[in-house]
Structure 1
Amino acid sequence: MATREDRRSGAETRAEILRVALRLFIEKGYEGTSTRDISTALGITKSALYYHFPSKEAIVTSLLTERRKELAELVEWIRAQPASPDLLRRAALRWIDGTTSERLDGMRLMHANGPVLRKLLDDGADVRSEFEQVVDLLVPGDATPADRLLVRMAFDTVGAALLAAQRTDASPEDVLAAARRATIALTG
């Protein structure tokens, strides 16, 4: 009989489902992963999985909701900062420094399954389009397209480093170190 200590809370179970599903989506692809695969990997029944998430789509939506929260926090942080010449660098480094291995895995998921997931999540909004708020806060209204691109690039160094690291033995720490160096070079 399971003791109280053996049981996970609902929040812990949801977090574990998200972690395992993300790993499977990366390994097998979104379309190649079934809810049965997820429940089996977790050692729970499909009905227990459905108690927390009614579908695979709900799992992916939950993963993206977390990313959107992080983005909203960054927007609020930028708004609270005094205008300064180094605000772009500080904001971009803050974004990189908040990158966890789970966030890297989420980026891998989007890189590998982007078209399918964009079609699936037909609400029309994705983190990239929502990121325009950050760009708008960091460049003046009369900024050139090149200025706007530079801001986007300063924040996209993690994605670039992640793509460059494919088929290498680079660790997550290596990816983040390269991204940090690239952002400093871009915002110097």
Structure 2
Amino acid sequence: MGKAGDPVAGRRTDTRERIRAVAMELFSEQGYDNTSLREIAERLGITKAALYYHFKTKEDIVADLSDEVRAGVGEILGWAAAQPPGKETGHEILARYGAVMHDVGLDIVRFMAENRPAFRKLEIGTALRYQFVEVAAAMTGPDADPLAVFHARQALLAISWSVTMTNDLELTDQQRRDAALAIARDIFDRV
């Protein structure tokens, strides 16, 4: 990789972002299984060799998207490990989870919603599900009542789905974030 300030390194990052964005468009339009790397390259106006430089497979593109989410959730879990379980910690986890999902989680959640069979086949789905369970456990503690864990998971789902299932509503990103967090806290607080 190039050094900071290196214009070539910046172009590589821009190209990766463009590839990811176009791949997500195509996966959304025609499905993951019906999209080829050739089609992604053609839509971008680049050669397959240029695409291969960044991503060897479609799975690599999806994995790259999930890596950002997993890293963000990993940071939440690291922070939570040093906190006592309880309502205050749960609220902070929800806020941090909301930030991750609204900042970098949109594409992977959209992919999961629109390409369920492919998501189930890909290894990344297992890793994301495992982290999701771990976040809920961090909110409730190791010996929590199953109903409390259920509420924690439902609160996390309220945030996760808000990034993709409400795009047809005339809401700003901030309104969507604030409403999702308020609903998630309400769900979590019911136990």
TM-score class, shorter-chain normalisation, is 0.7 to 0.9
Q: In the superposition, relative to structure 1, how do residues 38 and 63 fare at CA in structure 2: closer, same or farther (>3 Å)? A: same
Q: In the superposition, relative to structure 1, how do residues 117 and 83 fare at CA in structure 2: closer, same or farther (>3 Å)? A: closer
User: Which digits, 9 at most, give the CA deviation of each residue in 1:105-137, with x for residues without a partner?
Assistant: 321110111222221x24772312222222222
Residue identity opposite 1:49 in structure 2: L
Structure 1 gap ranges (5+): none
The CA deviation at 1:77 is 1.6
1:69 corresponds in structure 2 to 71
How much identity, in percent, do the aligned residues show?
32
Aligned length, in residue pairs: 184
Structure 1 contact 74–95 (Cα < 8 Å) conserved: yes
1:177 corresponds in structure 2 to 178
- Structure ranking higher in helix proportion: 2
Per mean C-alpha deviation after superposition, the further-off stretch among 85-94 and 122-131 is 122-131
2:93 corresponds in structure 1 to 91
User: Which digits, 9 at most, give the CA deviation of each residue in 1:25-55, with x for residues without a partner?
Assistant: 1232212322122112222111110111111
2:131 corresponds in structure 1 to 130
Instruction: Output the CA distance in 1 between the equivalents of 2:100 and 2:9.
Output: 30
Structure 1 contact 75–134 (Cα < 8 Å) conserved: yes
Instruction: Output the CA distance in 1 between the equivalents of 2:125 and 2:16.
Output: 26
Q: In the superposition, relative to structure 1, how do residues 117 and 101 fare at CA in structure 2: closer, same or farther (>3 Å)? A: same
Instruction: Output the CA distance in 1 between the equivalents of 2:29 and 2:104.
Output: 14
The CA deviation at 1:80 is 3.3
TM-score by length of 1: 0.81
Please say if 1:110 is aligned against 2:112: yes
Residue identity opposite 1:132 in structure 2: V
Q: In the superposition, relative to structure 1, how do residues 173 and 22 fare at CA in structure 2: closer, same or farther (>3 Å)? A: farther
RMSD of Structure 2 on Structure 1 (CA): 2.7
The CA deviation at 1:145 is 1.0
Structure 2 contact 89–139 (Cα < 8 Å) conserved: yes
Structure 2 gap ranges (5+): 1-5
Instruction: Output the CA distance in 2 between the equivalents of 1:170 and 1:48.
Output: 38
Structure 2 contact 41–51 (Cα < 8 Å) conserved: yes
Q: In the superposition, relative to structure 1, how do residues 160 and 8 fare at CA in structure 2: closer, same or farther (>3 Å)? A: closer
Q: In the superposition, relative to structure 1, how do residues 23 and 103 fare at CA in structure 2: closer, same or farther (>3 Å)? A: farther
Q: In the superposition, relative to structure 1, how do residues 175 and 7 fare at CA in structure 2: closer, same or farther (>3 Å)? A: same
1:159 corresponds in structure 2 to 160
TM-score by length of 2: 0.80
Query: Runs (4+) of structure 1 moved beyond 4 Å?
Result: 4-8, 166-174
Instruction: Output the CA distance in 1 between the equivalents of 2:163 and 2:15.
Output: 29
